[in-house]
Amino acid sequence: MQRARITDVQDAAGAAAISLRGVVKRFGGFTAVDGLNLEVPAGVCLGLLGPNGAGKSTTMKMLTAQAIADEGSIHVLGFSVPRESKRARAAMGVVPQQDNLDEELTARENLEVFAYLYRVPRKARRKAVDDALAIAHLTERQRTKVDDLSGGMRRRLLIARGLVHRPALVLLDEPTVGLDPQVRAELWGLIDGLRAGGTTVLMSTHYIEEAERLADECALMSHGRVIARGSPADLVAEYAGARVVEHHGPPDRLTEVERLAKAAGLPTRRTGPSVSVLKAETIPPSLEDELGPGGVRRAASLEDVFVVLTGERVE
């Protein structure tokens, strides 16, 4: 298994469905994307993971030419963006973060409109809409107006709309943001089906569990750059190890734990009233004696990696 590493460049195996090289996007004096290099091989699900403001949504907007890069090059499915953005958009499906469904139309009518806009052949249009409804588990609600659908159904319809023309690539921008855990789990099943079917998926998210469950690989963004990339398991092994020991206590005690761990070259994570010492399986006996009893051992997670590398707390 390839070792995860901090880098802006990842050599992709196979043809790249998405390629960004040296991409910069500024908004006035603020640099939202800062020299981003990212390749997404065809047929994988890549989770673009990072805190709010890391540059994930801006990256998504540049891939669809809703925002234009100030520097660098972008290719999507072999098309140069923004120069060939119309051709790129025709070959990919886009599921936006914001719900922009037509509430006066039924679920089926929304899909029919997009099948027409994406130039699905007339003879194939009915089946394309039927298939998209089935994928989203909305066949029984196809005649229901969007305004009468639940939040979870509307989000599934958004995904179905992005799939109605059977794209080679799907962009999902924070697909489950703001949804309750049960609805989120339903959408995970839908997204996992795309992944299993071989569709290339780029999914931006700040939900750690979402990335762990769905992504073949994760690219962790911070301040407009990719700072680490690899499979969830590889990232955890590289930056958090196998085990973590959590120590609780007053601030002075936690500061001392951090000092001792740092002196031993071990990463730590401060979370409220506790400090976690990562890579606990490598703690020497002498340090265990200094840290003292009372630590709670647990398995390391991608959340530990997220906090250690970005300095951000998980929402």
Among 181, 176, 158, 172, smallest CA distance to 48 is for 172
- Output the pLDDT for position 311: 78
Q: Strand, helix or coil at 109?
A: helix
60 and 189 part of one domain: yes
- Output the pLDDT for position 2: 40
- Output the pLDDT for position 194: 85
- Output the pLDDT for position 13: 36
Read off the amino acid at residue 61.
Answer: K
Asked whether residue 261 is assigned to any structural domain, the reply reads: yes
Report the C-alpha gap between 284 and 253 in whole angstroms. Answer: 20
Low-confidence ranges of the chain (pLDDT < 50): 1-14, 315
Residue 261 is part of a domain; what is its CATH number?
3.30.70.3110
Q: Please provide residue 177's backbone torsions phi and psi, each rounded to the nearest 5 degrees.
A: -60, 135
CB 34 within 8 A of CB 24: yes
Report the C-alpha gap between 169 and 41 in whole angstroms. Answer: 11
Q: Please provide residue 170's backbone torsions phi and psi, each rounded to the nearest 5 degrees.
A: -125, 130
219 and 295 part of one domain: no
Asked whether residue 311 is assigned to any structural domain, the reply reads: no
Report the C-alpha gap between 68 and 123 in whole angstroms. Answer: 36
Last residue of a domain, one of 221, 236, 251: 236
- In 153-258, the DSSP E strands lie at 169-173, 200-205, 217-222, 225-230, 243-248
In the chain, the number of structural domains is 2
Angstrom CA distances, 264 to 35, 252, 277, stand at 34, 19, 11
Asked whether residue 119 is assigned to any structural domain, the reply reads: yes
- Output the pLDDT for position 39: 96
Residue 149 is part of a domain; what is its CATH number?
3.40.50.300
CB 309 within 8 A of CB 239: yes
The 3-class SS string of 65-88 reads CCCCCCEEEEEECCEEECCCHHHH
248 and 139 part of one domain: no
226 and 266 part of one domain: no
78 and 32 part of one domain: yes
292 and 193 part of one domain: no
Report the C-alpha gap between 248 and 16 in whole angstroms. Answer: 46
Among 303, 306, 291, 297, smallest CA distance to 254 is for 291
- Output the pLDDT for position 14: 44
76 and 105 part of one domain: yes
Angstrom CA distances, 151 to 57, 106, 238, 255, stand at 21, 15, 38, 44
- Output the pLDDT for position 179: 81
Asked whether residue 207 is assigned to any structural domain, the reply reads: yes
What is the span of the domain harbouring residue 275?
241-299
Asked whether residue 310 is assigned to any structural domain, the reply reads: no
CB 196 within 8 A of CB 103: no
210 and 254 part of one domain: no
Among 13, 36, 16, 33, smallest CA distance to 25 is for 33
Asked whether residue 9 is assigned to any structural domain, the reply reads: no
123 and 180 part of one domain: yes
280 and 179 part of one domain: no
Report the C-alpha gap between 232 and 87 in whole angstroms. Answer: 33
Q: CB count, 10 Å around CB of 297?
A: 10
170 and 282 part of one domain: no
262 and 223 part of one domain: no
Q: CB count, 10 Å around CB of 153?
A: 19
Torsion of Cα atoms, 51 then 53 then 59 then 65, to 10°? 150
Asked whether residue 5 is assigned to any structural domain, the reply reads: no
Asked whether residue 154 is assigned to any structural domain, the reply reads: yes
